[in-house]
Structure 1
Amino acid sequence: MAKEPRKLDELTLWDDAKLMIEKAKADGVETVWDRLEQQTPHCTFCEKGTTCNKCVMGPCRISDKKPRGVCGADADLTVARNFGRFVAAGAASHSDHGRDLVETLLAVGRGKTRDYAIRDEEKLRRIAAEVGIDVDGREAKDVARDLAETFVQDFGFATEGLSFICRVPEKRRALWKKLGITPRGVDRDVVEMMHRTHMGVDSDAVNICLHAARVSLADGWGGSMIATEISDILFGTPTPRSAKVNLGVLRADQVNILVHGHSPIVSEMILAAARDPKMLAKAKDAGASGINIAGLCCTGNELLMRQGVPIAGNHLMTELAIVTGAVETIVVDYQCIMPSLVQVAHCYHTRFVSTSDKAKFTGGDHVEFHYDNAREKALEVVGEAIERFKLRDPAKVDIPCDPVEITTGFSNEAILGALGGTPAPLIEAIKDGKVRGVAGIVGCNNPKLKHDHCHVTLARELIKRNVLVLATGCATVAMGKAGLLMPEAASEAGEGLAAVCRSLGIPPVLHVGSCVDNARILHICGVLANALGVDIADLPVAASAPEWYSEKAAAIGLYAVASGIYTHLGLPPHITGSETVTSLALEGLEGVVGAVFAVEPDPVKAADLMDTRISIKRKALGLSD
């Protein structure tokens, strides 16, 4: 008997999404929820991680009746190999983002670009000094060159360790060294995982999982952290500001350009081009009152944090933003860009433009951006978007709601600045129980779960229990639409957290950036641990990716656990076919790295788990709970 399709209220939390899902059906446009229904039920072997296609002796499916593949690999080894490659792909993605920023900073330092420049020289000099570069009396471009060249080494193999290992508490570094999982170089560790998981190499499931931890740490304390810090140097370190969120940020009277993906290198240039007086004059000549840039996903988060540019939606809203019929152009870079967006754009007047040589999309237009042509190409793309405005069909336009106000821009510098430049006030608030702990809620949406329900419910449960929440990536949009990114949301928090928020004028949920900016959470945990003289695993902190879907999220979750942070997942990774790997993830890692994963789809129960963990850590530190 066929399973009944889910009802609209089961798909998403939001009215703007529901209206656009209905409009998509009326317009004959297929969405991610339609395709999920077509793909259900999923392959049980794939869900458990017990399929292997790594050589042409197979593919193999491991089961109780057929417990070994052709090469002899059992379920434990097959699952570990698959998970290792899953993590490696995620770490490679975020770290390759960091590589692009290193190349741009190096071009600035070598005087090879006029399109990009240093916007935060103070941070440039501070970061350079932190990693051992002489900064006294030197020009900014020379410091930038040396810093970029230092980070180039972090991607190779001729180093003893990553530059930002200096931020890791000494106890944690000693543990990594003992376990043999100290990250050495981003590319080295990712490539080694690909080697280890080739047939006939590493055939010990636990050993592969330990190397997966090393690979993830190379991302968290390497590629992602480098990406965050260079983005601040090049485009400005975020400071608190007001902005707006949801599909209501689109403007019926303006040229609407959506920027989507993960790298600010392209989106910052699109924004600059949209503010060019010649482009604005051209837009008015075309009958528009202006040019409106709005973000999607993490590229949206980057512009939101630094420029206050409104954000239209997260992962499951990307198709629906085009369905409004009000979008002239969607400009993408890489990661989390559904190929379906090209087909959805073709149903309207929208132009789909890819910009990276590593992320082309069949059926879309390609305008390649480099550090030496970015401004020129951005003007070209914006100019074409203005021409598209003339093709818009007003009968197809439906912008379904008014935008919601949010507060953004909480970089670590901004958080510490609000505390007087030191973590001491936060530590005191934690000690006296006003802030019982800190939790990061991060990451994606997954159409298997009700869109944004888990994000919002989990956050509300945690702040009620006096747990300060830090949000990144797609979770940000959920928090913003729910009103949790405004200082007034302190009324929903427990008495202690509410008092802290009111005294500082901050929300109980702080937006700290895009998904690479989870490195900010790692860094702030390191700062707190160092200030207290403890390990990160000793802190009353936790993390959650309640609606995750991607390889990158697996890498993020694993580097959080390997750094000592208890981490909740709303759905399990594809490891349940191995009792050894599953047991290691949910139990065994506690005795190895001091933290484990928890899998729980119910956000209230997840809050209970995280709350219990925070209580345990408070008591171990001698703090009342």
Structure 2
Amino acid sequence: MSNEYLKFDETAEALLAKAQRDGAETMWDRRAAQKTQCGFGEAGVCCRICAMGPCRVSPVPGKGAERGICGANADTIVARNFARMVAGGCSAHSDHARDIVHAMHHAKPEGPFKIRDEKKLRVVAAEWGVEGADTKETYALAHELSNMALEEFGKPFGTQRFLKRAQVDRQKVWARENVEPRAIDMEVTTLMHSTHIGCASDYESLFRRGMRTGLADGWGGSMIGTEFSDILYGTPSAKASESNLGVIDAEQVNILIHGHDPNLAEMLVLAAQNPEILELAKSKGAKGINLVGMCCTGNEMTMRHGVKIAGNFYQQEMCIITGAIEAAVVDVQCIFPALPALAKTYHTRFISTSPKAKISGDLYIEFAESTGLENATEIVKLAVENFPNRDASKVEIPDFKMPTVVGYSVEAVIDHLDKVVNSQLEDKLGTVKPLTDVIYAGVIRGAAGVVGCNNPKQVHDLAHIKVMEELIKRDVICVATGCAAQAAAKAGLLTLEAKEKCGRGLLEVCERVNIPPVLHMGSCVDISRILQIVNLCAIERDVDICDLPVVGIAPEWMSEKAVSIANYVVGTGINTYLGVIPQVLGSPNFTKLLTEDVMDMLGAKFVFEKDPIAMVDKIMVDIEEKRTALGI
């Protein structure tokens, strides 16, 4: 393991050595066992969507088969594979949102699911045209709005309601290019139909359908997931927390919450505060109950409750390897099927809870909105009962944790940035004007949304951190979600002290507003927050989103969700930089469509760049060109 790697994650070396001593297999062992990965798959030219195949066509013309058995060429195969990744990613994010809406349908004053942001409930209801949005009884309104939201998944006619939020020129682009998303489930189903054997072969047509499905995620499922989570659980505001594996407490019952859907996690927070369960923990020799978060459930819980962040995607195994986790509780997405076997090396109980992500190997306790608190209470009790089974000889908790400031919702960002120009006013503007002012004045050169996963094809977290550190040094403010946000947390970039790493302009803003230079905006679903704040800036300046000096970046992405995200960010008019090249290079035509031709359609494009410093150099050229075009 290189010193450069250890600079960014000092927890890794000791815990991987411990795993070897304990006989525990990790992702790195499985990565080595893969040896050389399939070149056809890497190029995107392997097709297995019918039983005549799998067919592999040559990414090099004139060398090997140029068409599959049905006649599909590299352009078609690559475009179909890419489109199906978009469909998978949209499905994951949007089904998450559906679960949130279901929980809101169960909300009632005396139950565990309550309306905690009534103001946002009424704002969204008015936005969607609900009669009596400002006067109707709270829970009657919530149930009516949840029914309307469920219709967004399957309504037979019309487009997504949240599209009307977009700056008017962007709406015109979507209409002109026929990429306005209709019902979310319709877009996914139609795209899967289009990519079936014997259907679409035109790669541009497939791309457009994929783009529409991606936009159904960003301006549909993800935006619903974010807004309705805020209504149900509270809109986040800035708060202190801690990050990295040092947040695990040797003297407490440690429960790892891992996944993406906050419904279960919210109930676990309530159950862990139950006085009877806390007394039970003390009777077992523990000082208390310590919930720690992993991946996007961790982001959701830290934003709303200050739950400490144990780590991001690749640390899910390391967390168990510490030997101090009583229960690893998971819901959906980004969960290694290898975790139950790893947990058996220690005393940890692995508990899966979702019928959509039932993972064999240990316990399954199904979570349902109607019985949510009861399910969570059973899980917490099980973890507490497991505390005496911990083997002290196997406990090794890294002494690394970082203070972290989290919880920058759109509302929180506006509240803080208002102070840049209105610090002496009692009545702040409550708009993004201060943000656009400092960008247009050149105090900040631009903004970057840094998002996405970890990927063992790269040194973990290194690209995330290098990109963010270089951007803030060059006066580009960063907003981050998902595993990228957790990488920033572990590296200390979500602290007020990180302003010392900034250029002069961004340093001044951070000092005046008392914010970190990298703002934690939440989970991967919450990239919709990034869309909204950029969109508000475009509305404020009366320009299309594609004209603003902003970029999207996924330095270490790996999932289908990331492909859907990249599509909707580009579709929104924001150039999107990918540090891992998608499996498209087997089709030069489709690659050119993504990286060049799409500019004529949507005013934004995909940019592939593995080297993080080279990526930042390209981003700065991009941002300065946008500034010049705006005359600023």
Q: d(CA) in 2 for partners of 1:249 and 1:10?
A: 21
5+ long unaligned stretches in structure 2:
419-427
Query: Following superposition of structure 1 onto structure 2, how do residues 90-489 of structure 1 map, counting pairs within 5 Å?
Result: 90-108=89-107, 114-134=111-131, 135-418=133-416, 419=418, 420=428, 421-489=430-498
TM-fit CA distance, 1:107: 2.2
Query: Following superposition of structure 1 onto structure 2, how do residues 520-599 of structure 1 map, counting pairs within 5 Å?
Result: 520-599=529-608
Q: d(CA) in 2 for partners of 1:141 and 1:53?
A: 48
Q: d(CA) in 1 for partners of 2:6 and 2:474?
A: 28
Q: Which residue of 2 aligns with 1:3?
A: none
Q: d(CA) in 2 for partners of 1:33 and 1:168?
A: 43
Q: Which residue of 2 aligns with 1:43?
A: 38
TM-score, normalised with respect to structure 2: 0.96
1:158-198 deviation line (CA, Å, top 9, x unaligned): 23111111111111111111111111111000000000001
Q: d(CA) in 1 for partners of 2:68 and 2:3?
A: 42
1:82-135 deviation line (CA, Å, top 9, x unaligned): 1111110011000000011111112227x8x82211111111111111121131
Q: d(CA) in 1 for partners of 2:283 and 2:362?
A: 27
Contact 2:11 2:398 in 1 (8 A): yes
Contact 1:239 1:305 in 2 (8 A): yes
Contact 1:12 1:452 in 2 (8 A): no
Amino acid at match of 1:449: Q
Contact 1:115 1:373 in 2 (8 A): no
TM-fit CA distance, 1:73: 0.3
Q: 1:52 aligns with which of 37, 47, 60?
A: 47
5+ long unaligned stretches in structure 1:
1-5
Q: 1:508 aligns with which of 517, 526, 533?
A: 517
Amino acid at match of 1:184: R
Q: d(CA) in 2 for partners of 1:553 and 1:133?
A: 33
Contact 1:184 1:218 in 2 (8 A): yes
Percent pairwise identity? 47
Q: Which residue of 1 aligns with 2:28?
A: 33
Q: d(CA) in 2 for partners of 1:454 and 1:208?
A: 31
Contact 1:261 1:335 in 2 (8 A): yes
Q: Which residue of 1 aligns with 2:73?
A: 74
Contact 1:240 1:414 in 2 (8 A): yes
TM-fit CA distance, 1:222: 0.3
1:243-277 deviation line (CA, Å, top 9, x unaligned): 00000000000000000000100011111111110
Contact 2:480 2:521 in 1 (8 A): yes
1:461-515 deviation line (CA, Å, top 9, x unaligned): 0001100000100011211111110111111101001100100000000000000
Structure 1 stretches of at least 4 aligned residues deviating more than 2 Å after TM superposition: 6-13
Task: Tell me the secondary structure at the aligned position of residue 383 of structure 1.
Answer: helix
Task: Tell me the secondary structure at the aligned position of residue 407 of structure 1.
Answer: strand
Q: 1:602 aligns with which of 604, 611, 614?
A: 611
1:218-242 deviation line (CA, Å, top 9, x unaligned): 0000000000011111111100010
Q: d(CA) in 2 for partners of 1:52 and 1:204?
A: 16
TM-fit CA distance, 1:66: 0.6
Contact 1:153 1:159 in 2 (8 A): no
TM-fit CA distance, 1:591: 1.4
Q: Which stretch of the first structure deviates more once superposed, 416-425 or 330-339?
A: 416-425
Q: d(CA) in 2 for partners of 1:446 and 1:600?
A: 15
Contact 1:159 1:184 in 2 (8 A): yes
Q: d(CA) in 1 for partners of 2:567 and 2:238?
A: 30
TM-fit CA distance, 1:402: 3.6
Contact 2:479 2:519 in 1 (8 A): yes
Kindly tell me the number of residue pairs found equivalent between the two proteins: 616
Q: d(CA) in 2 for partners of 1:27 and 1:136?
A: 60
Amino acid at match of 1:527: L
Amino acid at match of 2:359: F
TM-fit CA distance, 1:329: 0.1
Q: RMSD value over aligned CA atoms?
A: 1.2
TM-score, normalised with respect to structure 1: 0.97
Task: Tell me the secondary structure at the aligned position of residue 77 of structure 2.
Answer: helix
Q: d(CA) in 2 for partners of 1:400 and 1:175?
A: 51
